[in-house]
Amino acid sequence: MIKELQEFFEKCPLLSNACMNVDFLPEHEDSYTIETVPCEPVLHRYYTGGSLRQYCFVLAFRKAYGGSPGENMRNEQLCEELAEWAEECSDNAVLPNLGNGRTAQRLCVTSGGYMFDESSNHARYQIGLQLIYTQM
C-alpha cells in the first residue's frame, strides 16, 4: 500500500521531481514523506468476505521558514493546493492502483495542511489523508 501511495504522490505536478520518502523526512528544504497514522483498518465487512477499508497517513514536507510573511504564505498555499489536488484526483477517480484484490475508492483530506514543527530554518508542514478502498 505505501509503495503505491509513494508512486502516486511522486506524480503530483505540485511536487515536480520530488523524492518521496516513507517514514523519514530529511532536514533539508523540499523533502517529502508519507507517514502512516494509526487507525482501525476495517470500516465494514461484507457478507461475501470482502471489506471496505481505510489507510490513514500524512503527507509531510519541509520548506524554508522564517520571518517573511510572503514565504510563510507560499508554504501554506502549497498545503492548500496539495489538498485540492488530492480532492480533485478523488473526484475524477484518479487514484492509486493498489493491485492484489484491492481497489481504491476515494482519497479524503482529513486535516488541511498546517505547520507541525518550526524548530529550524526549514519548517515541517503536513496534510492528513485517508485512502478508502475495498479488499476482496
Q: Give the pLDDT confidence score for residue 79 in this predicted structure.
A: 93
Contact 33, 60 (CB under 8 A): yes
| Nearest-angstrom CA–CA distance, 79 and 85 | 10
Q: Give the pLDDT confidence score for residue 109 in this predicted structure.
A: 97
pTM: 0.91
Contacts of 9 (CB under 8 A, 6+ apart): 15, 18, 20, 32, 34, 59
- Reference 107, options 90, 91, 122, 121; nearest CA is 90
DSSP 52-100: EEEEEEEEEEEEE-SS-HHHHHHHHHHHHHHHHHHHHHHHTT------T
Number of domains in the chain: 1
Task: For residue 53, count CB atoms less than 10 angstroms from its CB and return exposed for 0-12, middle for 13-18, buried for 19 or more.
Answer: buried
Q: Give the pLDDT confidence score for residue 122 in this predicted structure.
A: 83
Domain harbouring 108, CATH code: 3.30.2000.30
Give residue 41's domain range.
Answer: 2-135
Averaged pLDDT, groups of 10, the chain, 136 residues long = 93 86 89 95 96 97 80 88 96 96 97 79 91 97
Q: Give the pLDDT confidence score for residue 123 in this predicted structure.
A: 87
Q: Give the pLDDT confidence score for residue 32 in this predicted structure.
A: 93
